[in-house]
Amino acid sequence: MFLISRKLIQLKRVFLNDVEKSFLKLNHRNHNSNKGNKIILLEMGEDIYFLVHFYFLLKKKMFQNKKIVGLWINPGNIKKPGIRGTIAFLFQCLILHFIKLKWKKIYKCLGVNEVIELNNNFKDNVFIRNTTFIKKNCNLKNKEDVLRINFKGIKIGDLIYDHYLRFNNSVSFDIKNRYAIKRLLNFIETSNENLDKFYFKNKNDILYYIPQKAFYTNGFAVRYFLSKKVQTIGGIEDNKYIKKFSKNDYRATTKCENLPIKFKSLKNKRRKISLSKKKLRDKFNGKIATELKYMRKSSYNKKKTFKIKRKFDVIIFLPDFSDAPHVYGKVVFNDFSDWIHETLSFLKLKNISIAIKEHPNSWIYNTIKFQEDLKKKYSNLIWFNKNISNISIFNKRPKFGISPFGSVLHELAYHKIVPIAAGSNPCMGYDFVFTPRNKKHYFELINKAIRNELYLKENFKEKIAECYYMFFLHNDDFLKNESRELNLKKYLPSAGMKSITILDKFNKGYFNK
């Protein structure tokens, strides 16, 4: 019954809903008039937020009278072996084909009359090439080899690794799964061929590439155009509506190590710190502000507090195990599955009590299943479900807390609990979070925390407020845009949720000035 329900939900995505129909009926004359020889390449995907965001963005003078070409991004589903896997894959390809036709019709309202594809989902799964690139990289010795993969000088290992986890229902990369690896490598080669065909035909006319997001194998397009020195702007970050990508800053997230340097150049620093402190107080009082819209519910809901009887020395906050572990850059473990198993194996040798909290935004099946398996394997530990308020946990005053890169790192520090990360994270430019250089350093930090040898500096709350401001509140847009003026992020759905609300408001003139 559950499988049938999922298929019906997928099938529903093929058809225009009432809100989308209303959007098509609006007068889009200003966008339909776009024409000219110079090209703006715009990433198209099944995302209502970006449809509205791009609608406003393309109204800017710099994009007027240009030819708007769409780059359709397929999700790159990995076909499962066997008859059942083939049937499911064929059904998925059929669904995605009609979804693409639907969105081509919708994006035509923005002046997109020509669409190219990043990859060929069906062909890339069925017809596997035997190229030097594929032969070289399908016989991997370890997970580190995956992360070292590059294609014609473009780093792609992290994209392949994270894509495998997300679209192969996995929490770790199986280097023996040559079946899936070959298909992922095929995605990259096809993407390069498709982009080459477009680029070399139009290289003198391409002004901008505007992506939606820059992770999984879809992120290859960002890195490709940067290698061709094409202006690449767009995406969405916590402190940006529009980012300018570069060869040194090509990830989907903010370059966090640069935040302290950027803050030094700002004016009215005290006012910014005061605003940030207010936002932090609101957060710890249970309010979900615009900058935290990705959260389904507050982790500081006072109604979910209760007195915890058992004492614990360390609190571990679990991540979403299959959702882009390399999004911020280097992690000292290959993935979060390796991280939690190696961390718990290390900690159980110490004479300390351990508590674990589930990730509050867990919605992907393999993450939920993996968490359940962890509970069974480590049933002797203290477990907190995702709904318990962090206030209850912090009130127990553990010696330290661990999270790979979650926002809970600065929350721990704010409550005077030593936070240890597992690699690159939003606070990595500051010293109130202990960020390891490598795995050896990570375990050294844990040993020091156990011996009470890690300390927060006297001005740590000032630095937390500074980091929070720079990561969430600072206007770091590459160019002025209407989406920020309209506070469009306010209408983003939380993780794992889809919402038509923003388009409904657009249709009704809510965003008209």
Structure confidence by residue, pLDDT tens digits, 448-473: 999 999 999 989 999 999 999 999 99
Which residue would you say has higher pLDDT here, 87 or 288? Answer: 87
50 plus 88 within the same structural domain: yes
When pLDDT is averaged across residues 113-120 and rounded to a whole number, the result is 94
Q: Is residue 60 part of a domain?
A: yes
Do the domain assignments include residue 4? no
121 and 152 belong to one structural domain:
yes
DSSP 335: S
Rounded to the nearest 5°, which phi and psi values hold at 127? -110, 95
Q: Which tokens hold the place of 480?
A: 């002025």
- CA neighbor of 411 nearest in space, from 355, 361, 467: 467
Q: What's the angle, vertex CA 217, arms to CA 123 and CA 70, rounded to 5?
A: 75
Cα separation, 239 vs 469, whole angstroms: 9
513 inside domain:
no
Q: Which is nearest to 224 in space by CA: 193, 201, 258?
A: 193
**Count of structural domains, the chain:** 2
Residues 21-29, mean pLDDT to the nearest whole number: 91
In a domain, 128, yes or no: yes
Q: Write the CATH number for 320.
A: 3.40.50.2000
List the domain range (segments joined by +) for residue 165.
10-254+477-507
Average pLDDT of the segment spanning 223-239: 93
Same-domain check for residues 187 and 267: no
**Whether residue 70 is found in the same domain as residue 192:** yes
| Whether residue 453 sits in one domain with residue 391 | yes
Alpha carbon distance 493, 496 (integer Å): 8
Domain co-membership, 331 together with 419: yes
What is the token pair recorded at 425? Answer: 């994270």
**Residue 112, beta-bridge partner list:** 68
Tell me, yes or no, whether 119 and 173 share the same domain.
yes
Which of 315, 324, 328 has its CA nearest to residue 364? 324
What is the DSSP secondary structure assignment for residue 41, as one 8-state letter? E
Asked if 491 and 372 sit in the same domain, the reply is no
Residues 225 and 193 in one domain: yes
Q: Of how many residues is the chain composed?
A: 513
- Res 309: pLDDT: 87
Q: Buried (b) or exposed (e) across 244-261, using 16+ Cβ within 10 A?
A: ebeeeebbbbbbbeebee
* Angle 67-210-112 from CA coordinates, rounded to 5°: 35
Q: Are 185 and 134 in contact (CB under 8 A)?
A: yes
414 and 499 part of one domain: no
Record the pTM: 0.94
Q: Is residue 202 part of a domain?
A: yes
The per-residue pLDDT for range 391-444, each reduced to its tens digit, is: 999 999 999 999 999 999 999 999 999 999 999 999 999 999 999 999 999 999
- Asked if residue 307 and residue 402 are part of one domain, the reply reads yes
pLDDT at 295: 64
Per-residue model confidence (pLDDT) at position 2 = 44
Q: Tell whether 159 and 180 lie within a shared domain.
A: yes
Question: Reduced to 3 states, what is the DSSP secondary structure of residue 435?
Answer: coil
Nearest to 308 by CA among 349, 374, 353: 353
Does 324 map to a domain?
Answer: yes
Provide the total of helices (H) and of strands (E) in the chain, helices listed first: 21, 13
